[in-house]
């Protein structure tokens, strides 16, 4: 019996984690942006023909930025609307968490420049994107879908907050 309850508790942890990721997709624009950016980073890796080590470095960066964005969202939620005696601390915590995302993203960009910042990789990516009219149309459609997903999908916090105002 003890083993079954331990396994059930362990399994619930995955459910809670999935719920957190789902909430971030629905409610956090920056999280959706990072998901879209990771899609294009992996597409570039495929087109550039990155080796396994390059893909591993890219994956480490992608998952680090996304994990940091989840942590930033969690901090923002935890300290949102504090009492008046803690407003400065709450603001500082939110700013620090956002700074952590920024530093992680800058590190990921540095790795991206190292992986893709050569003529062979850039040429391979360009050729893959512009291989034909259908390919160009599909890439443009993917950019439109990424824009919609990032900026139009999910719950609109701004609208919800304006309804609360007197």
Angle at 113 between CA 116 and CA 118, to 5 degrees: 45
pTM of the predicted model, to two decimals?
A: 0.84
Range of 128's domain? 2-154
Identify whether 77 is part of a domain. yes
Query: Count of domains in the chain?
Result: 1
Which two tokens mark 80? Answer: 């949102």
Identify whether 166 is part of a domain. no
Which two tokens mark 12? Answer: 């619930």
- The lowest-confidence range among 6-10, 12-16, 85-89, 128-132 is 85-89
CA separation, residue 10 to residues 5, 74, 90, 100 (Å): 8, 21, 32, 29
CATH of the domain at 90: 1.10.287.3610
Q: Average pLDDT over the chain, rounded to whole?
A: 91
Identify whether 159 is part of a domain. no
CA separation, residue 90 to residues 74, 83, 84, 117, 152 (Å): 12, 9, 10, 39, 28
Section 116-138 average pLDDT = 97
Which two tokens mark 45? Answer: 């890796």
Catalytic residues: 69
């Amino acid at each position: 019996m003890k083993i079954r309850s331990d396994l059930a508790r362990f399994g619930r942890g995955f459910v809670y984690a999935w719920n957190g990721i789902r909430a971030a997709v629905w409610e956090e624009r920056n999280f959706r942006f990072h998901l879209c950016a990771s899609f294009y980073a992996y597409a570039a890796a495929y087109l550039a023909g990155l080796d396994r080590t390059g893909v591993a470095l890219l994956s480490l960066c992608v998952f680090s930025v996304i994990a940091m964005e989840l942590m930033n969202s969690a901090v923002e939620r935890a300290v949102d609307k504090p009492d008046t005696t803690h407003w400065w601390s709450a603001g500082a915590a939110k700013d620090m968490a956002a700074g952590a995302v920024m530093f992680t993203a800058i590190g990921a960009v540095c790795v991206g420049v190292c992986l893709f910042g050569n003529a062979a990789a850039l040429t391979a990516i360009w050729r893959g994107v512009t291989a034909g009219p259908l390919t160009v149309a599909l890439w443009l459609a993917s950019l439109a879908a990424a824009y919609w997903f990032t900026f139009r999908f999910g719950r609109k916090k701004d609208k919800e907050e304006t309804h609360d105002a007197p």
